[in-house]
């Protein structure tokens, strides 16, 4: 019996070591891919992306896949939203960009959960504990307000929130609500740019909507801070 118990304990320890090694490998690959992308950002402008995927019949699926990967690699989601406006126009551009931004957010959140798996316990940091309590208390609203802060990179928020006790459902809802104003702004401005470039006359309406949505996305956090004070 003692030998069997020792064997089971040794097997469990080996499994934990393999799982930790796998998480470390995933983290290293992610960092390497991010460094490569950041080194080649010159080729990731909206015009280049739209030219690469716009000609394919399955452009929406290609766009969603690209959005997920880009969200993991710290590519600004605003560039993807502008691309959606260039390729799909205003209505479908907002649809595909909104879906892509949520899928990318969920992917980063789940990847952070997998890589961490107990490696980092944020509750042991006194300065972070009040923030964790607020996230737990306010749920999706806290996520939505965080998404509205333009200075916080999309990917960094995904990974950071993945380290919290936040449940996936409220996280996804808050991400959708908080990201929507900026998504609408960038898609409509991208669609307006496409109209101008092609000599079309329908550039004014998406420009007006884009500027209004951009102003709204910047105004809401300021109003919320005053309300909280």
In this predicted model, what pLDDT tens digit does every residue of 24-50 receive, in sequence order?
A: 555 555 555 555 444 454 445 676 666
Comparison of pLDDT for 62 and 24, the residue scoring more: 62
- Check the CA dihedral 208-64-69-172 and report its sign: positive
Q: Measure the CA angle with vertex 143, ends 142 and 146; round to 5°.
A: 90
pLDDT in tens, 163-199: 888 899 999 999 999 999 999 999 998 888 877 776 7
Does the pTM of the predicted model rise above 0.75? no
SS3 content of the chain, % helix, strand, coil (to 5): 80, 0, 20
Structural domain boundaries of the chain? 1-39, 41-228
Using CB atoms within 10 A of its CB, is residue 99 exposed (0-12), middle (13-18) or buried (19+)?
middle
CB 136 within 8 A of CB 210: no
Q: Where are the alpha helices (DSSP H) in 40-167?
A: 46-53, 59-72, 77-116, 129-138, 140-147, 154-162
CB 184 within 8 A of CB 213: yes
pLDDT at 77 over 80: yes
The secondary structure of residue 167, as a DSSP letter, is: -
Give CA–CA dist 98/223, Å, rounded: 24
pLDDT at 210 over 70: yes
């Amino acid at each position: 019996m003692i030998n069997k118990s020792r064997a089971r304990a040794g097997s469990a320890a080996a499994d934990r070591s393999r799982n930790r090694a796998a998480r470390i490998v995933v983290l290293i690959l992610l960092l390497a891919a991010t460094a490569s992308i950041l080194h080649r950002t010159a080729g990731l402008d909206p015009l280049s992306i739209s030219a690469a995927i716009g000609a394919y019949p399955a452009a929406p699926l290609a766009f969603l896949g690209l959005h997920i990967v880009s969200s993991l690699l710290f590519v600004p989601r605003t560039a993807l939203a502008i691309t959606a406006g260039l390729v799909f126009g205003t209505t479908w551009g907002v649809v595909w960009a909104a879906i892509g931004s949520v899928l990318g957010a969920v992917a980063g959140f789940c990847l952070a959960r997998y890589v961490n798996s107990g490696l980092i316990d944020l509750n042991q940091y006194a300065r972070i504990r009040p923030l964790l309590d607020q996230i737990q208390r306010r749920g999706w609203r806290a996520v939505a307000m965080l998404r509205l802060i333009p200075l916080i990179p999309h990917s960094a928020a995904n990974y950071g929130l993945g380290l919290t006790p936040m449940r996936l459902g409220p996280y996804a809802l808050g991400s959708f609500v908080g990201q929507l104003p900026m998504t609408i702004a960038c898609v409509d401005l991208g669609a307006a740019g496409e109209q101008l470039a092609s000599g079309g006359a329908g550039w004014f309406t998406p420009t007006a909507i884009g500027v209004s949505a951009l102003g709204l996305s910047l105004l809401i956090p300021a109003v919320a801070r005053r309300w909280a004070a």
